Amino acid sequence: MTKSKRTRVAVLFGGRSVEHEISVITALQLMQAIDPAVYEVTPVYIAPSGTWHTGTELLNRSFYAKVPGNLSSLAEVTLLPKPGVGGLTKLSDHSIIPIDVFLPAFHGQYGEDGCIQGLFEMADVPYTGSNVVSSAMTMNKYACKVFLKEHGVPVLPAQLIARSDAQRDIRGAVERVLAHDGYSLPLFVKPCNLGSSIGISKVKDASELAAALAKVFRYDTHALVEPCVNEIMEINCSVRDHDGIHASVVEVPVSQSGVLSYEEKYLRGGGKKTGQSAGMASLTRVIDPQDLDPEIKRNVVELATRSFTVLGCSGVARLDFIVDLATGNLYFNELNAFPGSCSFYLWVRSNPRVLYTTLIHNMIETAMKHHATGASLDRNIGLKALRS
């Protein structure tokens, strides 16, 4: 019996986001976990400048310490927005690197927000994760909250502040925030379209609000301002959609500062000196806490699966909730769709247990099914209006 051909997977990562290096960490973890007996991996690194590169050197963490100077050793490639190409195109000679499915492992803008998904759709290729609309919706924290509120998911109130408005009148922007009905200090100020806790601030005094907005506007065009829950417990749950909708066990992340910072999320596992971050898996957390009220667990799981479903997500996502311990109220906070979070550490503790390798396999299978479904639709009704 001859050995069956391995499925050719392009893992795309890096990108033009400020979360570039977190994407590299995610991709390296993923490429180590993928089953080499079933999949042939082609790493595709998108530099901060936007150029696409591939080569086996990208499998080694040490390679990235010398970027961009060593990129010339790699082949430069692209994905043409043209159906039927069959893979990546080398820019040097226009030859094709055959690819069966694309697995984006980006974080942040141009990767999680529907941009790369739009390119996949134009090229008519299978890809893992959510589609264009779901990706864009879940990336925009304000739009996501407004949408879920309409579907009965409890959320905290939020104000959206545009950078252009603040630049014209920062004092007026600050006054509008403080005058908003139901708002009182302290407040959380964070980018509307970013993750990884980049640009987030807890504002305890009105004099700090302008600086917090300016911090956001270094990275994003819109700031989200939310009331701060003083007695807070965070609870997260992961959801996936392979052969139905499934929820993981819940987790309670632990912050030393009261606000989960970039350093706490990504540098605690190895530290700044070594740079050997283990990503979100290194964060201090209590997984499936036995002393947590079972009703709270059930509510989190129900709201997580409902949110995942109505947003039209696919693949794997982690949904973050907060409990106001003073009132007992539960609120949706944000959704981190893959590649923002695969949350493999939650699935290992779930029942049934799902290993990271299996999660990846399931995502690829689901991507192939979705693409086959799309291919079965009739998109050609002929040229009628132009010939009438």
**Is 185 within 8 Å of 206 (Cβ atoms)?**
yes
Are residues 72 and 172 part of one domain? no
- The answer on pLDDT for 166 being more than 70 is yes
In a domain, 133, yes or no: no
61 secondary structure, DSSP code = G
Are residues 292 and 147 part of one domain? yes
What total of structural domains would you count in the chain? 3
- The answer on pLDDT for 258 being more than 70 is no
**Is 19 within 8 Å of 53 (Cβ atoms)?**
no
- What would the pLDDT profile of 108-142 be if each residue is shown by its tens digit? 889 999 999 999 999 999 999 999 999 999 999 99
pLDDT of 271: 41
pLDDT of 163: 95
Are residues 249 and 189 part of one domain? no
In a domain, 384, yes or no: no
Range 258-277 average pLDDT: 46
Range 369-385 average pLDDT: 85
Tell me what percent of the chain is helix, strand and coil, each rounded to the nearest 5. Answer: 35, 25, 40
Q: 29 vs 284, which has greater pLDDT?
A: 29
Going by pLDDT thresholds of 50, 70 and 90, the confidence category of residue 179 is confident
Are residues 358 and 271 part of one domain? yes
- Please say which residue of 227, 250, 279 terminates a domain: 227
- Please say which residue of 175, 201, 227 terminates a domain: 227
pLDDT of 133: 96
Are residues 237 and 350 part of one domain? yes
Share of the chain above pLDDT 70, in %: 89
Going by pLDDT thresholds of 50, 70 and 90, the confidence category of residue 379 is confident
- What would the pLDDT profile of 299-348 be if each residue is shown by its tens digit? 999 999 999 999 999 999 999 999 999 999 999 999 988 765 578 889 99
Are residues 166 and 115 part of one domain? no
> For residue 96, which of 10, 4, 6 has the smallest C-alpha distance?
10
- CATH code for the domain in which residue 260 is found: 3.30.470.20
Q: Which two tokens stand for residue 111?
A: 């990767």
Range(s) of the domain holding residue 180: 159-227
Are residues 163 and 88 part of one domain? no
Are residues 274 and 144 part of one domain? yes
CA distance 237 to 247: 7
- What would the pLDDT profile of 5-51 be if each residue is shown by its tens digit? 999 999 999 999 988 999 999 999 999 999 999 999 999 999 999 99
Alpha helix (H) ranges present in 103-182?
Answer: 115-123, 132-139, 141-150, 163-168, 170-179
Range 192-201 average pLDDT: 81
Are residues 147 and 247 part of one domain? yes
- CATH code for the domain in which residue 40 is found: 3.40.50.20
Are residues 41 and 89 part of one domain? yes
pLDDT of 1: 37
pLDDT of 283: 61
Are residues 88 and 208 part of one domain? no
The mean pLDDT of the chain is: 89
> For residue 239, which of 321, 295, 294 has the smallest C-alpha distance?
321
- CATH code for the domain in which residue 171 is found: 3.30.1490.20
Range 197-202 average pLDDT: 86
Range 369-382 average pLDDT: 87
CA distance 380 to 227: 50
Are residues 332 and 258 part of one domain? yes
Q: What order do you get walking across the sheet with 96-98 strand by strand?
A: 96-98, 87-90, 75-78, 52-54, 39-46, 7-14, 101-104
- What would the pLDDT profile of 58-90 be if each residue is shown by its tens digit? 999 999 999 999 999 999 999 999 999 999 999
CA distance 250 to 295: 12
